[in-house]
């Protein structure tokens, strides 16, 4: 089963006054790269969240967006810091004595000074909060994995069709190549007959020239290797796990053989077939970039 690196997953869970929403999207990337945006309160769970993502993806650029709401009435409380208030009052008295001015500070005025009254958010049980978040992350990751598998299946079908077309082109080149050599032999004999009499024609010389020519244009080794690479690619598409890098290497080797075939081609039909081969390989390489 192959997986695409493109996918999307979303989850939303509500419990009492709490609500968490997780959205995950991924695109192709050479390695696994995570970007997590979430409320500061949840930063303590970042390492755990990354570990969960690793279970579902080995490659790709993955963006995670988390929103968390807690509308519990007891969530926020006010705290009076008496020691800070006393410090302020002591300073005010010193100022009153030193500058001979009246201290008319009120309770309302004092309460507005920094740190005298602070807001504190009640602490939730860390493990209880994590269990809530973990459930949402897992659900979103499963959705992401499902879409990557579906897209991977579509990629596999398309790649198999392209490999079939490549095999047809290789077969065409294999059938055309011997005919090219035979045609060259006939043309060479015809030219020599124009110049020399039948008695003067050196059959051995013709055979030698044909062998040299055949060695230059023969692509048997290239087509054999191309067939081997095509079969290897088909097997990879049926493997489990990440095959993207392996498929990319196979495509590079295919392209090398197609280039050699094109450089040896001394016939328009084989040249066109080799160009079509390169076109299919390039399409395959583009598709492979999105495989995990």
- Distance from C-alpha of 148 to C-alpha of 158, rounded to nearest angstrom: 15
pLDDT on residue 183: 61
Q: At what angle do helices 46-56 and 126-195 cross, to 10 degrees?
A: 40
Mean pLDDT for each 10-residue chunk of the chain (292 residues)? 93 92 95 94 95 94 95 71 89 86 83 82 78 96 96 95 97 80 59 53 58 63 94 93 90 95 83 94 94 90
Q: In what order do the strands lie in the sheet with 7-15?
A: 7-15, 18-27, 60-70, 32-37
pLDDT on residue 78: 80
The tokens of 167 are what? Answer: 């095999």
Q: Where in the chain is the domain with CATH 3.30.230.10?
A: 7-71+125-148
pLDDT on residue 61: 96
Selected from 3.40.50.1100, 3.30.230.10, 3.40.640.10, 3.40.50.1980, the CATH number assigned to the domain covering 7-71+125-148 reads 3.30.230.10
Q: Which among 252, 251, 260, 253 has a CA at the least distance from the CA of 222?
A: 260
pLDDT on residue 124: 66
Q: Which among 168, 132, 164, 159 has a CA at the least distance from the CA of 48?
A: 132
Q: Where in the chain is the domain with CATH 1.20.140?
A: 151-288
pLDDT on residue 93: 87
Q: Which residues of 210-233 are buried (b: 16+ CB within 10 A; e: fewer)?
A: beebbeeeebeebbebbbebbebb
Straight-line distance from the first to the last Cα atom of the chain, in angstroms, rounded to the nearest whole number = 11
- C-alpha distances in Å from residue 7, one per residue of 60, 79, 100, 237, 289: 10, 47, 73, 19, 14
pLDDT on residue 96: 85
pLDDT on residue 147: 96
Q: The pTM is what?
A: 0.69
- Distance from C-alpha of 39 to C-alpha of 129, rounded to nearest angstrom: 13
CATH of domain 151-288: 1.20.140
DSSP lists the bridge partners of residue 10 as 23
């Amino acid at each position: 089963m192959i997986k695409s690196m493109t996918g999307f997953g979303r989850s939303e869970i509500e419990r009492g006054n709490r609500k968490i929403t997780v959205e995950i999207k991924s695109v192709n990337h050479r390695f696994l790269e995570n970007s997590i945006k979430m409320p500061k309160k949840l930063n303590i769970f970042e390492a755990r969240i990354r570990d969960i993502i690793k279970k579902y993806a080995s490659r790709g650029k993955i963006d995670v967006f988390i929103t968390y709401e807690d509308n519990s009435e007891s969530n926020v409380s006010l705290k009076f810091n008496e020691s800070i208030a006393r410090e302020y009052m002591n300073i005010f008295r010193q100022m009153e004595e030193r500058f001979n001015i009246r201290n008319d500070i009120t309770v309302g005025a004092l309460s507005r000074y920094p740190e005298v009254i602070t807001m504190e958010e009640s602490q939730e049980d860390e493990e209880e909060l994590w269990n809530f978040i973990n459930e949402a992350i897992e659900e979103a990751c499963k959705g992401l994995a499902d879409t990557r598998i579906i897209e991977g299946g579509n990629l596999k079908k398309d790649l198999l069709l392209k490999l079939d077309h490549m095999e047809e082109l290789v077969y065409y080149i294999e059938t055309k190549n011997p005919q090219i050599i035979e045609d060259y032999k006939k043309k060479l004999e015809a030219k020599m007959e124009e110049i020399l009499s039948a008695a003067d024609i050196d059959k051995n010389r013709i055979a030698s020239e044909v062998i040299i020519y055949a060695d230059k244009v023969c692509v048997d080794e290239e087509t054999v290797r191309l067939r081997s690479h095509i079969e290897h690619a088909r097997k990879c598409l049926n493997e489990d796990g990440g095959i993207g890098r392996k498929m990319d290497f196979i495509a590079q080797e295919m392209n090398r053989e197609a280039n050699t075939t094109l450089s040896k081609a001394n016939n328009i039909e084989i040249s066109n077939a080799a160009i079509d081969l390169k076109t299919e390989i390039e399409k395959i390489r583009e598709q492979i970039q999105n495989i995990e």
